[in-house]
Amino acid sequence: MKRVTSLLLAGAFLLPTLATLSGCGGSGDEIVLKVYNWEEYIDEGGEGSFLYDEFMGENGQEEEGELLGADFLDWYKETTGTPLTITEEGPSVIDDFEKWYEKTYGEKVTVEYSTFGTNEDMYNEIVLGNEYDLLCPSDYMIMKLAAEGRLEKYDEAFFDETDENNYYVRNVSPYIAGKFATNAGLATLDNLWKDYAAGYMWGTTGFVYNPETVSEEQLESLDWRVFIEESAPFTNKITAKDNVRDTYFAAIGVTFEEELTALYQKFLAKELTAEEYTKELTKYFNDTSDEAIEKVEPTLMKIKENIYSFETDTGKADLVNGNINLNYAWSGDAVYAMDLAEEENDCYFNYFVPLSGSNLWFDGWVMPKGVSERGTKQAAQAFVNFLSMPYNAMRNSYFIGYTSVISGEKNEMLDYADYLYGYYPEDEFEEGEEYPEPVEYDLSYFFLGENYGEDVEHITIPADPEQASSRQLYAQFPPESVIARCAVMDYYGEEASVRINELWSRVKAETLDAWAIIVICVTVVGIALFTVFVKFGNKIDLRRKPKKGYKFVSREDPTRI
Amino acid sequence: MKIPRFSRKMLCIPYAVFLIFFVILPMLVILFYAFTDKNMHVSFSNFIRFFSDPTKLSTIVYSLVIALITTVACLIIAYPVAYILARSKLKKKFVIVMLFVLPMWINFVLRVNALREIFNLIAISPAMEWLTSANYFKTIVGMVYDFLPFMILPLYTTMLKIDGSLYEASADLGGSAFTTFTRVTIPLSMPGILSGITMVFLPSMTNYVVSDMLGNAKVTIIGKFIYEYFGTDWHMGSMVALVLLAVVFLSTWLSGGFQSEENVRGANL
C-alpha cells in the first residue's frame, strides 16, 4: 500500500510541474504565445539596434536621433505605456509587444520566442507535433504547409481596415499585398496566400561582386553563365548555395538562358505584358519535369566543377577576404556583406540581379492549426499587427538588414529609406567641390502598388547614382525594373521534391562507375572473408566426422601427442 | 506488502533507464523508419533504392576511403610520438601529453575554422594555389588534425603499461632493436592501436562539419547524406543511418573490438 501512496504523492508533486511545462496558457488569464522565427530575425534591442544607434551617442550619452525624435518618444510611451529607456539589452520588440498587448486588449501575454536555422528544420518540428502559435517560413514552405493543411487562416477581421489595431492591413505595401492576393507563384494553392500568411521581409537573389575584379559589362553579357564560365575572374571564384532549391533555380537560369533572355526581350519590346511575362518566367524557374531535370543535371555538374564552394553563410567572409569574386546571395545578406566590407575593409562591393530573371522571395507569418483551440489566435494576429507598425518595421528592418514588407499608411518607410540612402550633396560637400549629381530613385510601385498610373505623382528619393544602380539601395529597395524580371519559387509538390532531392544527392556526391563499385565491394568482401578465416580458421575442422565413440583431439589441446 | 530491500543491482537502474530511452528506443525508431514508407506501411523500397543507387554506394566507398586514409595518417603520426613519450625519462612528460590533448578542449568548430583560414592564407602564394581546389586533401588534413589526440592517448596509455624489463629481456635474448620493436612493442601495444583506430575511423566517416568547411561542401561523406535526408525524407535518412551502422559494426567486429579480454578495451578512453 505504501508504494501506491508514494506513487500518488509523487504524481501530485509532478502535476503542477507538468502544467507549467506544457504552458498552454489555459490557466488564469495569462496567454503564452509561442513564436518560432529565423535566427536573428527580430530586433531584440541593445547594441546594433535602431533605437540604440539613434538615441545613444558615441559615449553612451542620450541624444536625439537623426530620424527619430520627440514624435517617436511620444509614440513609444503611448504604445507601451512606459517611457523609452535604452539599455545594453533592450528594449526588445518582443517585450514591447507584451506591454502593448496588455494595454490594448487588457490581457497579459508572454511571448515564448524560439528560433530555427532552415525551413526544413522548422517543418520537422511542426510535423513532430511541437506546438507553436506563429511561424515565419519562406514562400515555398508557406505553400507546402498550406497544401498539407497544416495552417489556420487569418480571421476576416484581420483585414478590416476600419479597426485601428489592424496595423498590418493598413501599413503593408500595396505591391506586396497585391502579390499575396493573387498568388505570385504558380497558384498551386486553392486559397490565396493572404488567407494564410502575412508578409514580414522580402527581397531578391543576385550576385554580390567585387567591382575591382569583375566588371558590370562582363556580368551583363554572361548573366547566369558566370556559374559555368571557365575563365578568370569567374572560375573557382564564385559560390553557390548549399541547398537544392536555390542552386536548382540558378541552374535553370544557366540552362535556359537563351529562352529566358528571349522572353525578357519580348517584355522589353512590350510584346508581353508584365503579368504575362512574370507568369512565363515563373513557369520556367519552377519547372521540375523530367525533361527539365535531365537538362539541368549536366549544368549542375558543371557548376559544381566551376565554383569555389557551396555555402550557406561563409560566402560573405570569403568575398571580404578575397577568396572569391562573386557570391550568389539573398539581397539582405548582400547588403550586410557590402556594409561589412565598407566599414571594416574600406572596399566597395556591388550587387547584380541577372537580366534574364531571378528570384523574388518572401518570409511571412503563418499560424499552424490549433491556435484557435489554444485561444492564442488573437494574440498571434496582434503580434503580426504590432510588427507592422511602421516604427517597429523600421526597428526590425534596421536590425536584420532585410527589407520589410511594410510601406506605412502615410509612407513612413519612405522616410526610413531616405534616412538610410537619401543623398543630399549640398550638405555633404563644400562649395566648389565636385560631386556626382543625385538621381531620382523611383519607388512608386512599392508605395503605391502596381497600377499607380502615369498621372500620379511618383514617389522617389534622391540617391547617389552608384547607390541607385548597384549598391545597397539597389539591393535593399530594388527598382521596379528589377522586380519585373523576378519570379517566386513554388512548392514543387511531394513527388517532384523527391526527384529534386535525388538530383541534389547525385550532384553533391561523387558517383563511381558501376565496375568500380563492384571491384571495391568484391575487395571489401574478400578482405572480410580473409579476416574471418584468419580469426576462426583454426576452429573449422574439415576432417571427416569420427566414428561413434571416438573423438578427435583438439588442435590446441596441449596434451595432444 | 514486501518492501524491496536495497540491493547493489538497483544502482544500475538510472543507467538502465538511460539505456532504454536513449539507446534502445532510438534504435528501434530508426529501424522502424528505415523499413516503412511515407504512409507508415512496411516497405523495403528504401533498402532497394539505397542498394540500387550508385551515388549512395559511391558515397559509402568515398567515406570509407577518406576514413581509412585519415586513420592510417593518424596512426603514422601518433605511434612514434606515443612511443617516444612513453619510453622517455622526461620528468615533465605529462606537460607534453597535455599539449597534444589540449586542443580537444577548444571548441571544434573554432579549430576547423582557424584551419580553414590558415589554408586560405597559404593559398595566397602562387605556388600553393592548387590548395584552393584541393578539397579532399584539405578535408583529410582537417580530420587528421581533429582526431589525432584520440589516437595518441590510447597508444600512450597502453605503451606506458608495457613493462620495461620486457625490452631488457628481448635484448638479453639477442633481439636487435628492430626485433624488439616488432616482437615486443607492437604486439603489446595492439590494444591501444585497435582502440585508437576505432576512435578515429568511425567519426571520420560521419563528421561532415569538417568536409563542409574545409572541403567547401564539395566533398560529400555519408554523414552529410544522413543530415540532408533528415531534412526531407526521414525514411531514407534512417536507411542510410542503418547501413552506416552495419558498416561500423562489421569493421569493429573485424578489428576485434568485441573481444572481451580485459587488455583489449583497457586502453579505451
How near does any CA of chain A get to the CA of B87, in Å? Answer: 32
Is the distance from CB of A219 to CB of A289 less than 8 angstroms? Answer: no
Q: Are A328 and A205 in contact (CB under 8 A)?
A: yes
B58 close contact with A: CB closer than 8 A: yes
Of B57, B218, B232, the CB nearest to A309: B218
Segment B14-36 mean pLDDT:
92
A325-334 mean pLDDT: 92
pLDDT at B133: 81
Mutation to test the A interface, candidates B197, B228, B258, B264, most A Cβ within 10 Å: B228
Host domain of residue A141: 22-200+364-404
Answer yes or no: is A11 within a domain: no
B265 confidence band (pLDDT: 50, 70, 90): very low
Domain count across chain A: 1
Residue A113 corresponds to which amino acid? Y
Residue A86 in any domain: the answer is yes
Q: What is the mean pLDDT of chain B?
A: 85
Does pLDDT of B131 surpass 60?
A: yes
The answer, for A520 touching chain B at a CB cutoff of 8 Å, is: yes
User: What does the pLDDT look like over B210-227, one tens digit per residue?
Assistant: 999 898 888 889 998 888
Pick from A304, A321, A520: CB nearest B218: A304
| Whether complex ipTM tops 0.85 | no
* Beta-carbon separation of A509 and B250 below 8 A: no
Q: Cβ separation of A497 and B224 shorter than 8 Å?
A: no
Rounded distance between C-alpha atoms, residue A380 and residue A35, angstroms: 8
The domain spanning residue A72 has which CATH number? 3.40.190.10
The verdict on residue A469 lying in a domain is no
Tens of pLDDT along B81-106? 898 888 887 777 788 888 887 888 88
Confidence of residue B11 (pLDDT cuts 50, 70, 90): confident
Instruction: List chain A residues with CB under 8 Å of B228.
Output: 501, 504-505, 508
Residue B5 is classified by DSSP as: P
Residue of chain B minimizing CA distance to A506: B55
Contact list, A124 vs chain B (CB under 8 Å): 230-231
Contact residues, chain A, for B231 at CB < 8 Å: 118, 120-121, 124
Tell me the shortest Cα–Cα distance from A95 to chain B, in angstroms.
32
Q: What percent of chain A has pLDDT over 70?
A: 87
pTM of the model: 0.84
On whether residue A430 sits in a domain, the answer given is no
Partner-chain residue, chosen from B61, B230, B231, that has the shortest CB–CB distance to A517: B61
Show residues of chain B in contact with A118, CB under 8 Å.
231
- Residue A324 pLDDT more than 50? yes
- Report which of B148, B152, B158, B165 is spatially closest to residue B187, judged by C-alpha positions: B158
Q: CA of B229, closest CA in chain A: separation in Å? A: 8
Best to test chain A binding among B46, B58, B122, B211 (most A CBs inside 10 Å) = B58
B233 contacts: CB under 8 Å, gap ≥ 6: A498, A501
Ordered by start, the domain boundaries in chain B are 55-266
Which residues, in sequence order, are bridge partners of residue A32? A110
Separation of alpha carbons A540 and B212, rounded Å: 47
Q: Is A4 on the interface with B (CB under 8 A)?
A: no
In a domain, A139, yes or no: yes
pLDDT at A362: 92
The rounded distance, in Å, linking the Cα atoms of A94 and A536 is: 67
Shortest distance, CA A229 to any CA of chain B (angstroms):
16
| Band of residue A4 on the pLDDT scale cut at 50, 70, 90 | very low
A504 — contact with chain B (CB < 8 Å)? yes
B256 neighbourhood in chain A, CB within 8 Å = 535
Better pLDDT: A10 or A282? A282
State residue A394's pLDDT score: 93
- What type of residue sits at position A335? V
User: Is the pLDDT score of A238 beyond 90?
Assistant: yes
CATH architecture of B55-266: Orthogonal Bundle (1.10)
For residues B186 and A259, give the distance between their C-alpha atoms in angstroms, rounded to a whole number. 67
Nearest by CB to residue B54, choosing from A314, A517, A531, is A517
